[in-house]
Structure formats: structure tokens, C-alpha cells
Structure 1
Amino acid sequence: MASDHRPGARGKACRAPSAGGGGAGVKIAILFDPGAADWTPEDIRGVMKAVDEIGTIFGTKGHKIRKIPVRHDMRWFQTARRADLVFNLCEGVHGKSEWEEHVVGTLEFAGIPVTGASLWTLAACRRKPIANSLLQQAGLPIPRWTVAQGKIDDAFPLPAIVKPAAEDASAGVDRGSVVSDRKTLRARVAAMTEQFDEVLVQEYVGGREFNVGFVGNRVLPIAEIDFSRMPEGAWPILTYAGKWEIGSPDDLGSVPVCPAAVPQKLADRLVRIADLSWRTMQGKGYGRIDLRLDDAGRPWVLEVNPNPDLNDDAGLSRMAKAAGWDYAELVRRIAEVALREAQGAKAARELLAPSRRPRATRTA
């Protein structure tokens, strides 16, 4: 959606895919983070679920698939650079999210077509103070915020939510994240600064929460998080447990609903705000914008999320199903967007064309 100065636009000078869909197939490398020392087997299974499913989708169409774990030794790059397309599922290296954009930057610098967002978008969106500043400059509604450095202004509105300034996937967000008095605010900031380099304090917006998804230029049906079943006394927010600990009280209490039941006028307003947010952050590939309504029904932008979770049971896939796409169609469209941007429409059609026979998958 951004202009041609983006790194992805330079890829148009790259090589074309090696062969047609009806012949030898397209070479697709799927990148992923193999994990850190403290990852559980369940953590690793969660990553590999999407890797394996996406590999199967393209493998059954006759394309040549390599599943490549990304490590600091850079051996992954020697394999990835020979691919016609890199399907990027790497959200960090050894569990460190700050390395995510470096992987994408390496691929962009080499002119290799890659799915999802650019280095610039990933880096800017992960650093919430930078993203908030850019969004505010574009005239978008952002709840009042500050980076916790020493004393918080006594005039800062409460309740407020305290969270890491440079993490994603709800890391560092739990039931104690929302504070309603100055003493609790000070205690929460002190506890968070011991764990994270920077801490963001932001005015809490207490109304309905919505998600607007994008794949290329396509806006997906709006989703809503229903917090009506949250445990008594818990703030209606999407915590880390609610997002990742299946069966936990926070998970059971935060139920996604798609499509959301919203009047058309509100839906149009949410989409307009989300679209400008996505374009402001130079979003491309696929992404999700999170918004909330205040007591007066006004939407506020919470976060811009490039490359959100692509598992079949995740939010973007749920929105795609509401649009009439199955999971395989969502995956194909994400790949098509990347190849179309790098190589043009012909290469994208090449990817989607079925081959004569499926090919085996290899893991680097």
C-alpha cells in the first residue's frame, strides 16, 4: 500500500521464478525461529504447526518446499537466497523478537521476494512510542501515552495500561497491567522496568475492542473480542495468557467474534481509521489493526500489527474464513501479494497454478 520508495518495490528487478506451476514448480523457502533454550515442546509445536501446514499447502501444488530454521550462523541465508519466494514465519531469532526485522532486512537487501511486512514497518511497529508518534502525526486517534522515565505526570489520566514499549504478542500484559490509582501505577512501572528496557504507560480505553485485517489491498471482515466471560474483577483486556495459554480463564474469557455485529456506519469508520493506520506505517503483505471504542463510541487505535499470527486458528485466518477463504486460500493470497509486488502478476499466477504432482518437503 505504500509508495514505491519501500524496500519491497526494489525487488522488481529480481529474477523471475524458475519454472511454471505446471512444470517444475516454484522454489519456496519457509523461514521460522527454531526456539530458545527456555522454549517448551508446546512452544515449538505451536511454531511448527503453521510451518508444516503452509509447507503442505504449497507442496501439494507441486512446488519445491524448504523449511529453514533461522539462526545467527547465517547458514539459513545460503538456502533462502536460492528460493523464488521466502514465506516468512520468523518472528525472532532464538526467541528474541528484536531480531525479526534483521532477517527481513537481509532478504530485502539481497532482493529476495518475501511475504509480509518490510524491515521498516516491523521495526517501527514493534517500537510502540515510534508507531504512536507517527500515527498521531498522521492525525489518527491515539490514547494519551508516555514512556515511563522517572515520575509520571500527576495529570496523566487513569485508569492506564502499563506494558513493554518494544514487545509484541501481548508479552508483558497480564491482569495487573491496568492500574487505577497513582500508587499502583508507580508500583507497576517499577516492576516492569526491572523486566523490560522501556515501559509504555497509556490511557486505558474501556469500550468494545475490534480488529481490522488486511491482505494486500483487501480489507477482511471486522472481528470483535468478547470479554463478557472474563473472571470477575478482571479488566477486559487481551493478556498474554488470553492469547497463548489455551483453556486458561483469560483465554476462555476473551472470545473472538467474526464478523463483528456492528452498524455499517461504525464499520465504515473503523475501516477508514484502520486503513490510514496501515498506510501510515507503510503496511504491506498482511496485517491487523487493533482498535477500541471509548464511552462516547469514538474509535481509538491501540496497535498496528504487521505479520500477525498465521496459524489456522488465529485471528487473521478467522477473518479470512468470514470473507469466504479457507486457510489454503489465505496462504496463497499472502504469497501472491509478495510475488506480485516483486515480480508482477505473471509470477503470482505462476505460484497459484497447480502442478502435475506433489513434491516432497525438505528441512534445512
Structure 2
Amino acid sequence: MAGAEEAPLHGSADALDPGQAPAEGKGAAVLGGRQDDQPVGRALQAAAALPGGGLPRLPRPEPPADVSRRRAGGRAGSGRLREETPVRGGADRLQLDRPAQIHHRGPAQGHPNPLPEAQTPADRSGADRPLPPDRLSDDPRDEPPLHRLVPRGEAQMKKRLQVLVAFDIGVIKPRGYGYEEEFKGPAFATERDVLRAIRDNGWEARTVGIHNDIRVLIEEVAERRPDVIFNLVEVFDNKTYLDKNVAAILEMLGIPYTGASSEALFLCNNKGLFKKVLRYHRLRGPRFQTFMRGHRVWLPKVLTLPCVVKPLCEEASRGISEASVVDNEAAFIERVRFLHEQMNSDAIAEEYVEGRELYVTVLGADRLVVFPPREFKFGKRPEDEPRIATYKAKWDEGYRKRWGIDSVSAGKLPNGAWERVQETCKRAYRALNLRSYARFDIRLTPSGQVVILEPNVNPCLAEEDEVGLAALKGGLPYDRLIRRIVSLALTRGGPAKKRRRAA
């Protein structure tokens, strides 16, 4: 990628979980905080021994939100590349037009010699078939047609598929609790919409809410033996970084499940780690430096101010505010120390990238679909100041209305930009070994460069959130989107998949 040599990696990304190591005697708390007469180990073995296997794993890394009748998921990230000069006006600053279609079909651009692991099938064949954003490829070497499902997964679906919807909840509820009242509120928009779509597809659906005891999920699987689990768990015991641990348990049990794998959650929830992987595959991202708690804090000479200082392992823009953008050494050091001392979090500082903030959804496994982009509009925020998607900009409805902030279907992009965006996101998806679905937060710079800010490996799936709206814009209605996600889970599934084939 042109200019990649200007973005060397600096600093370590060795931080694991943002929480402290558990104190002696607290090991049981991770799995529920109590010791019953049936240990968790025996429960896991019992569930895994069933003909149906065990459990699935957890997806979405974004929390429920009540923002303009939907849960806007996403992460903030920004940065200005060193050689660029922001453009005021012209084609790069076109006004957003909701129904606008993007018709540019210029050649895709990227690194002339991408590493094999990051190449798309089109890369490897030498073909270059960029897609307009309002349809999907029908090239058998690349993407599947839009209006059909992955054949293997579709063939495996029974007439009455048994689907268990697993999600996180802030309080303990008994197994079998219906959650009808909770699902009426905006905080559970994703759970409500997914459950409705599953039933509209003719499948049988049950729900299980998880707070701080994984045994409720194990017991549900042992008793009901679902064919697939639709995994919407993103928090365990009020800790976002434990989603990967729950996912790992589900993987041990062997039942197909939707969403990202435990290794993808571990990798992509650590901003320093995924940036190193993308850099290895020659994909552009902002320069960065990580700062671990208990170590010296300084302003590295390799970073150009302004920078954005964020928690290393948080999600949904937690810990990101206007104060996160720093333009001098004193503010830089102060913000890093604030995250260390007040949020008990390791920190990452990355250069601010000027440009349009786009959210791009990718769906698939071996063959990928890229849906039309969404755009985060900063409204009345001054254009001559750094503009980032802060926590308040995403989740505070009053703040959003006051500043005219919204997320909409992206307006017209510069000639050839959409092709570069598609190619970059597909390469990143494969480089990070993602599956099922993901959403990339990117910046399209005034000079046309595509800069990856963050991958959201399990973004919100409410019908009127970014993924659902992008899929609809691309011609895939919500019910069929959910059907496609379930199909992908069955395609790669474990024992349950073998049962269906045998049947």
C-alpha cells in the first residue's frame, strides 16, 4: 500500500484484559460466583456428551443503546495522515444525499504486492472486479449472488430449526423466563428484532439471558439441544472483555453459533494487536503507541499531533470524549494517565486522521459480500476542528439532536473510492480471520486513502442499526439477513451440522 512505510509500528500491544488478575479464591466468580453441588466442569462435560454437542459462542461487541430509535453501534477513531492536507470543498465534501447511489466503477487500488494471507480470490487470480454499492458480485471466484443463501448452510436447515438466542442481561433471571417486558424497550432492540426474524423464518426460538453464571446456558443446551445458537452475548458479569471467554466455552461444546470466534474477539478487542496484524498485511491504519498501566508515559517523537487517546480494550466509544483529542504534550500525558488512573485501563494513542467516517459491513465466510456504506455525519461540529465519534455523539440523544449528529446512508464518494473501500475491507476481514459478519469503521481521507480505524467483529444487529440498514440498502431484507447469518453458522458448525447431514 502506498505510503505504508510511513506508518511503522511502535509500542507494545501486550495488554490482555483491562481488569486486574483475579484475587485468590475468586476463580469461581467468573462462572457465577457460587459453588453448587454440581461443579461447572461436570455440567460442561454433560452438555458436551449430548448427541447435539454443546453451546455456541458470543458475538456482538456493542452494548444496548437508546439512540434515535435504534442502537447505533460503532467505535470512534480518527486520524490525519502526515502527508495530507485537508480539503475544504470540492468533490470530497459533497453534501450527503440519502437516496443517492454510487456509480463510480474505477479500478480498485491497494498494495501492489499484498501478502497471500490478505489477498482476495480476485487478487490471486489477477482479476479486478469492483462492485457498485447497490448490488453484489456474481463472480463464482469471489462473492455470491445477493438473493440466495450459502448453499451448504441452506441445505442443512430443517423445516423447524431449533434456535437458541443467547444474550447478556444486567440481572439474574431464572431459566425459562420470557423477557417479554424487557424486549419492549429500546435497550433490547437487537434481541427483539432477531427473535422476530427467527420466528418469521419459520423456526422455533427460545431465549436465555446470561448475567454472571454460565451454567444457565449450559443447562439450557443440555435440556433443549438446539440446532444452532444465535449469540448476542457481549458482556459477562458486567465485564466486556469476558465475551471471548464465554465464546471459548461455547466452542468447547460444539453446537454451531453465529458471530465471531473467541480468537477474533480476543484479537479485535485489543486495538494494539489488530493494528499490528493489519500492518503486517500492508493495510493502512493510523500510527499508534500503546501505554500499559504502571509504565512511563511520554509523547513519542514518531507521533504527529493531534492524537486521539483511547482505552486499549474498550468498546462502543467508552472512554472517548472531546478531551480524548490532544494537541500538546501536557494534554497527551494527562489523558493517558486519566485512563490509567480513573478508568483502570491501558491506553492507546493514535494519530488523528482527517476525512469522512464510514461504516462498512462485510458478510460471509469463504465468499464475501460488502454492503453499501453508512456515514457518520457530525452535523454542526466545526469542520476546522478534529471531529470524532465520542461516546456522547453515539449514545446521548439530546447531544445528538443539539449538534445535528446522525448516521445515514453514505453520499456520493470520489471516483474509484468505493472500489478501494470494498477491497480494503475484504482484505482486512480475511487478514483478521473473521467469519459470519463484521463492520469496519474507516476514514476516507481527502486524498482518497482508505484508513481502517477499527473492526467491529460482532456489531449490533437491530433492524434499524448500521448493519441492518446497510443490508437493506444492498437489497437484502432483515429477515433474510438473519437467515443468511444462521446459514453461515450451520455451514461451519460442529456436531449439529453432522446430525442434519445424516438426516
The normalised TM-score by structure 1 is 0.82
Matched, 1:58 2:198: yes
How far did residue 66 of structure 1 move?
Answer: 1.3
Native 8 Å contact 2:471 2:477 kept in 1: yes
Matched, 1:77 2:218: yes
- Matched residue of 2:189: which SS? helix
Measure the CA separation in 1 of the matches of 2:355 and 2:392: 21
Change (3 A) 1:206 1:98: same
How far did residue 63 of structure 1 move?
Answer: 2.1
Change (3 A) 1:264 1:245: same
Change (3 A) 1:36 1:130: farther
Change (3 A) 1:47 1:109: farther
Measure the CA separation in 1 of the matches of 2:385 and 2:206: 44
Matched, 1:238 2:403: no
The aligned runs of 1:1-364 (5 Å cut-off) are: 21-22=158-159, 25-35=160-170, 45-73=185-213, 74-80=215-221, 82-148=225-291, 149-150=295-296, 151-194=298-341, 195-216=343-364, 217-230=368-381, 235-249=386-400, 252-342=403-493
Measure the CA separation in 1 of the matches of 2:194 and 2:441: 25
Measure the CA separation in 1 of the matches of 2:494 and 2:170: 32
Aligned identity (percent) is 28
How far did residue 157 of structure 1 move?
Answer: 0.8
How far did residue 232 of structure 1 move?
Answer: 8.4
- Matched residue of 1:224: which SS? strand
Native 8 Å contact 2:52 2:226 kept in 1: no
Q: Deviations over 1:319-362 (max 9, x none)?
A: 11111222222222111211122279x99x99xxxxxxxxxxxx
Q: Which runs of 4+ in 1 moved over 6 A?
A: 13-17, 41-44, 231-234
How far did residue 250 of structure 1 move?
Answer: 7.4
Change (3 A) 1:44 1:168: farther
The normalised TM-score by structure 2 is 0.60
How far did residue 235 of structure 1 move?
Answer: 3.5
Native 8 Å contact 1:209 1:225 kept in 2: yes
Change (3 A) 1:42 1:184: farther
Measure the CA separation in 2 of the matches of 1:118 and 1:306: 9
How far did residue 21 of structure 1 move?
Answer: 4.4
Query: Structure with the greater relative contact order (CA < 8 A, sep ≥ 6): 1 or 2?
Result: 2
Measure the CA separation in 1 of the matches of 2:372 and 2:383: 30
AA at the equivalent of 2:290: V
Unpaired segments ≥5 residues, structure 2: 1-50, 54-152, 173-180
Native 8 Å contact 2:414 2:448 kept in 1: no
Q: Deviations over 1:267-306 (max 9, x none)?
A: 1111111111111111101101111133433221101110
Q: Deviations over 1:30-74 (max 9, x none)?
A: 11111269xxx9999444222122212222444221111123332
AA at the equivalent of 2:321: D
- Matched residue of 1:342: which SS? coil
AA at the equivalent of 1:169: A
AA at the equivalent of 1:201: A
Native 8 Å contact 1:220 1:319 kept in 2: yes
Measure the CA separation in 1 of the matches of 2:332 and 2:285: 20
Looking at secondary structure, tell me which structure has more strand per residue. Answer: 1
AA at the equivalent of 2:380: R
Deviates more, 1:177-186 or 1:148-157: 148-157
How far did residue 260 of structure 1 move?
Answer: 3.6
How far did residue 212 of structure 1 move?
Answer: 1.4
Native 8 Å contact 2:394 2:400 kept in 1: no
- Matched residue of 2:322: which SS? coil
Change (3 A) 1:21 1:179: same
Native 8 Å contact 1:175 1:239 kept in 2: yes
Bigger Rg, which one: 2
Measure the CA separation in 1 of the matches of 2:482 and 2:266: 23
AA at the equivalent of 2:449: R
